[in-house]
Structure 1
Amino acid sequence: MRRPLHTLLLAALFWAFLVLGSCNCSKTTSDQERDRITYLPGQPLNTQFSQFSGYVTVNETAGRALFYWLTESPASQDPVEKPLVLWLNGGPGCSSVGYGAAEEIGPFHINPDGKTLYLNPYSWNNVANLLFLDSPAGVGYSYSNTTSDLITAGDNRTAEDAYTFLVKWFERFPQYNHRDFYIMGESYAGHYVPQLSQLVYERNKGIENPIINFKGFMVGNAVIDDYHDYIGTFEYWWTHGLISDSTYEVLNKYCDPYSAEHPPIECVGALALAETEQGDIDAYSIYTPVCTQTSSSSSARFKLRGHYPWMSRAYDPCTANYAQVYFNLPEVQKAFHANVTGIPYPWDTCNYDVNGNWGDSPVSMLPIYQELIDASLRIWVFSGDTDSVVPLTASRRSINALKLPTKKNWYPWYDNGKVGGWSQIYEGLSLVSILGAGHEVPLTRPQHALTLFKSYLENKPMPTLSETLKSSS
């Protein structure tokens, strides 16, 4: 029997009330529609998911506004039922849109012509709604009307601005209120992710049903703890034959992480010698060819941060060159509702002013890890094992410093019947290595990265051989 029309209308209104709560619904709808992307230049015709992008002002006085790009799950995957994942790239000063979205986990990757896009079959939006944020102000399309903001950024303000962004973004997109929410990222986002996670967790305290329904975080090849990162990085260089015995000895003797801002001359000399000994390799992916194309990004000597003096060469595969072309196209910026204020510099994968003038940066994230482990949040750390910049040995040493009890010792995990890496499960944390992956794991091992992501969301250990064989039979 058909239900009367007025009953259906009442039911629809009741559902809308539950979803939107007490928001100003007309304004929310108009703000969302203003941010909707109808079509990106060069976009494939068979796109089956919704996209939104635009700005959220996080500081009215300074005029700081952060740019985001939301790519929802395809309609066939029921996006309403999927969690929301915030992705952050590091640097500091590098674009989550340019790296995370455009060459790693996003649904679109850029063709060599710099003008057209193709679908990424391993996109993480197949299993979650993805929210990419360019942070802090000055990175990517994000901007500030206060010029000094570009040279006074640091960890604390970055975290506070990102939290303000989240609060305002959820107001604009109330359909995501109370949805399972995770924060993820890589590299120097090894600072951003736990710091923002801590803010969300602590400000949710006392709220029975928080709007930002934070469940946990995951970081890859992440800067975690200065002391252990130093030891682990030099160890990786030596054990992988990248430096000599004598250089390794000098690095261990003179490169004290607690004096990294003003290292002794012996350390500076050893680091320079280590770079010479390593030769012309891609330090972020030591077994893959370097890109021979030139761009403004590759010609610049990009120091990821003075605090880590070995981070001296930017990861600049040719895909980053394509991004630099694409995101500077006027028609692309118009489609993204970006650069609305006429930013006085071209879009780039990384902002060197922001990076070179980075301010506060705590020496360790381990106290935050411990706090959030005690809060029973889901925490995973993953590492591509061919990255020599923030290598697996550094991550293992940092995690070991937490002295967590082991639930399942180091074991191989499998993808399609082949070893995909190794994993160890601790009380409150899982560590996963990805075989043959570089600094940007989803770029060099996209299928393995998607398997990792699914396992995290399902809160299941990385699959064993018998499990993969069973699923394929």
Structure 2
Amino acid sequence: MKMRSVLLLSLVALCLAQNDHFITNLPGLSGKTNFNQYAGYIQSNSTHGRNLFYWFVESQSNPKNDPVVLWMNGGPGCSSLDGLLTEHGPFDVNPDGSTLKINQYSWNKVANVIYLESPASVGFSYSTETDQTFNDDKTADDVYHFLISFFKKYPQFAKNPFYVSGESYAGHYVPVSTNAIFEGNKRGDNPPINLKGFLVGNGVTDQESDQNSVPTFIYQHALASQQSYEQALKACKGDFYNNKRDMACGAAISRLRGGVGPVNIYGIYSPCINSFNNKKNQMCNGASDPLTPWYIPAGCNLSPPCINSTALITYLNRQDVKSAIHVRKDISWDICSGYVNSRYNWTYESMLPFYSKLLSAGIRAIVYSGDTDLAVNMLGSEYSVTKLVNQMSAKIKREWGYWSVSGSNQVAGYVKQWDNGLSFLTVKGAGHMVPTDKPEESLYFFTKFLREQDY
């Protein structure tokens, strides 16, 4: 009887701990959801007081057994609520900034998904540190300790297969965080995390590969003339990255890139929503650096260029929404933080050593890329993957070929796979935010990857 009482009290305590983050009513959403969702703060570092905001949506299929997937947007300094409410979450914000619509291709159709705002000071996350600096290792450490606390709060999900995912600068967050989990499991940390794999979309991966691809991608997509491209090739001796500091090479690259104009860097065939007629927007479009892909530079505490985030910002700054998702009402939400970006140290030139280590340990990975993205283009991702598999002497499991969504006779993109557990997949017609541009195709390859099925 005494043991039964102890167990009952433990169960009650667990329910109370989870219910304090349970979302009972979400403003702007008509009707009830067919899944549970939770949101709130989890402290990732008690010593430094870093409090990370998360939004957790359970699977609509089989939450008890479906994988748990962590999602992070990039920047560095951009919020993962962008991923939740404009990419692959269960609902999108309507243009009115007041109401939500159901996303029939949400990733929580097949998985339990955690949307994490990291590092601290991104979005609703905050820190009590007075002088903050940010880097890849600190981010990974915070993510790992967040996850340990998360699975203590939600122990019923601790044994589910676990994946780390993200896009853009999360091309750094994802591998280093996955490595932190891997090392924690090796140490025997409790609870162990059932790590199975990671997903990186249009991700910053290897600076040499990423930057060498930029002029070629520009030329191959008719954004520069043959003459300007050949002049850059000659001036840079065929190596843009290693010769970019040479005066003639740098000038040739700048001329080539400067002629591109105010295209939408996140999808070159999509319209540019915001004007580029002032110096602020030109700077925020990354025009000052000839090779660095277009991230959000320091001082750009606004929506990314060519993207209209007004509805999202309006919705998340409503007081009733803040109450519903259990966040501090004194924090003003923005899609990207110039404060974080300007203090962020890019710790590593390349993520390939992390890929090699994790793949060698049996951790599966997919690198997917929208083929109209100029911010982190697919050529750079392909160069990175090719460099990696050559270093690992991996053998081809599936030659380059097209893939299609089941029941469709249309080409959705192209895929190549190796025997080390790595897949490289392109999504035809998608830009930087692949699930926004191609929601059905994204859910399809996401599901196939989680289930270890052929694309």
Within-5 A mapping of 1:50-61:
50-61=36-47
Q: Distance in 1 between matches of 2:190 and 2:342?
A: 41
Q: Distance in 2 between matches of 1:140 and 1:367?
A: 30
8 Å CA contact retained: 1:186, 1:220: yes
Provide closer, same or farther for how the CA distance between residues 41 and 307 of structure 1 changes in structure 2, counting only shifts above 3 A: farther
> Does residue 263 of structure 2 align to residue 281 of structure 1?
yes
Equivalent in the alignment of 1:406: 396
How much has 1:417 moved relative to structure 2? 2.0
Equivalent in the alignment of 2:212: 231
SS at match of 2:173: helix
Q: Distance in 1 between matches of 2:105 and 2:306?
A: 19
Amino acid corresponding to residue 411 of structure 2 in structure 1: V
| Larger mean Cα displacement after TM superposition, 323-332 or 200-209 | 200-209
SS at match of 1:148: coil
Q: Distance in 1 between matches of 2:293 and 2:247?
A: 14
8 Å CA contact retained: 1:156, 1:360: no
Equivalent in the alignment of 1:465: none
8 Å CA contact retained: 1:306, 1:356: no
SS at match of 2:98: coil
8 Å CA contact retained: 1:183, 1:216: yes
SS at match of 1:52: strand
> Does residue 229 of structure 2 align to residue 248 of structure 1?
yes
Calculate percent identity across the aligned residue pairs: 37
Provide closer, same or farther for how the CA distance between residues 188 and 318 of structure 1 changes in structure 2, counting only shifts above 3 A: closer
How much has 1:73 moved relative to structure 2? 1.7
> Does residue 120 of structure 2 align to residue 155 of structure 1?
no
Amino acid corresponding to residue 161 of structure 1 in structure 2: D
Q: Distance in 2 between matches of 1:317 and 1:121?
A: 26
Equivalent in the alignment of 2:80: 96
How much has 1:381 moved relative to structure 2? 0.7
Q: Distance in 2 between matches of 1:165 and 1:264?
A: 44
For residues 403-424 of structure 1, what are the alpha-carbon distances to aligned partners after superposition, in whole Å with 9 as ceiling and x for unaligned? 1221111011112221111111
8 Å CA contact retained: 1:103, 1:319: no
Provide closer, same or farther for how the CA distance between residues 220 and 307 of structure 1 changes in structure 2, counting only shifts above 3 A: farther
How much has 1:243 moved relative to structure 2? 2.0
> Does residue 284 of structure 2 align to residue 302 of structure 1?
yes
| Larger mean Cα displacement after TM superposition, 380-389 or 242-251 | 242-251
How much has 1:209 moved relative to structure 2? 9.7
Equivalent in the alignment of 2:121: 138
Equivalent in the alignment of 2:300: none
Provide closer, same or farther for how the CA distance between residues 64 and 207 of structure 1 changes in structure 2, counting only shifts above 3 A: closer
Q: Distance in 2 between matches of 1:461 and 1:38?
A: 38
> Does residue 101 of structure 2 align to residue 118 of structure 1?
yes
1:357 aligns with one of 343, 350, 356? 343
1:328 aligns with one of 288, 302, 317? 317
Q: Distance in 2 between matches of 1:82 and 1:285?
A: 32
Provide closer, same or farther for how the CA distance between residues 65 and 301 of structure 1 changes in structure 2, counting only shifts above 3 A: farther
For residues 415-463 of structure 1, what are the alpha-carbon distances to aligned partners after superposition, in whole Å with 9 as ceiling and x for unaligned? 222111111111221111111010110000111101111110111121x
Q: Distance in 1 between matches of 2:209 and 2:293?
A: 14
8 Å CA contact retained: 1:385, 1:438: yes
Equivalent in the alignment of 2:272: 290
8 Å CA contact retained: 1:104, 1:440: yes
Aligned length: 434
Amino acid corresponding to residue 386 of structure 1 in structure 2: T
Q: Distance in 1 between matches of 2:251 and 2:313?
A: 34
Provide closer, same or farther for how the CA distance between residues 247 and 354 of structure 1 changes in structure 2, counting only shifts above 3 A: farther
1:78 aligns with one of 38, 54, 62? 62
SS at match of 1:166: helix
SS at match of 2:180: helix
Q: Distance in 2 between matches of 1:235 and 1:29?
A: 55
Equivalent in the alignment of 2:299: none
Q: Distance in 2 between matches of 1:257 and 1:136?
A: 29
Provide closer, same or farther for how the CA distance between residues 122 and 372 of structure 1 changes in structure 2, counting only shifts above 3 A: same
Equivalent in the alignment of 1:179: 160
Provide TM-score, normalisation by structure 1: 0.85
Equivalent in the alignment of 2:378: 392
Q: Distance in 2 between matches of 1:322 and 1:423?
A: 35
Amino acid corresponding to residue 235 of structure 1 in structure 2: T
8 Å CA contact retained: 1:385, 1:434: yes
8 Å CA contact retained: 1:95, 1:139: yes
How much has 1:356 moved relative to structure 2? 2.1
8 Å CA contact retained: 1:408, 1:425: yes
8 Å CA contact retained: 1:178, 1:210: no
> Does residue 110 of structure 2 align to residue 127 of structure 1?
yes
Q: Distance in 1 between matches of 2:141 and 2:309?
A: 28
How much has 1:30 moved relative to structure 2? 1.8
Provide TM-score, normalisation by structure 2: 0.88
How much has 1:309 moved relative to structure 2? 3.0
> Does residue 183 of structure 2 align to residue 190 of structure 1?
no
| Larger mean Cα displacement after TM superposition, 238-247 or 377-386 | 238-247
8 Å CA contact retained: 2:121, 2:337: yes
How much has 1:220 moved relative to structure 2? 0.8
SS at match of 2:411: strand
Q: Distance in 2 between matches of 1:228 and 1:54?
A: 38
Equivalent in the alignment of 2:193: 212
Provide closer, same or farther for how the CA distance between residues 306 and 179 of structure 1 changes in structure 2, counting only shifts above 3 A: farther
SS at match of 2:79: coil
For residues 380-420 of structure 1, what are the alpha-carbon distances to aligned partners after superposition, in whole Å with 9 as ceiling and x for unaligned? 11111111121111111111112122111101111222111
SS at match of 2:259: helix
Q: Distance in 2 between matches of 1:323 and 1:167?
A: 30
8 Å CA contact retained: 2:69, 2:162: yes
Equivalent in the alignment of 1:456: 449
Q: Distance in 2 between matches of 1:144 and 1:267?
A: 43
Q: Distance in 1 between matches of 2:119 and 2:289?
A: 18
8 Å CA contact retained: 1:303, 1:356: no
> Does residue 438 of structure 2 align to residue 445 of structure 1?
yes
How much has 1:318 moved relative to structure 2? 5.2
Unaligned runs of 5+ in 1: 1-5, 463-473
Q: Distance in 1 between matches of 2:110 and 2:400?
A: 27
Provide closer, same or farther for how the CA distance between residues 334 and 210 of structure 1 changes in structure 2, counting only shifts above 3 A: closer
| Larger mean Cα displacement after TM superposition, 242-251 or 170-179 | 242-251
Unaligned runs of 5+ in 2: 297-302
Amino acid corresponding to residue 396 of structure 1 in structure 2: E
8 Å CA contact retained: 1:441, 1:449: yes
Q: Distance in 2 between matches of 1:216 and 1:312?
A: 26
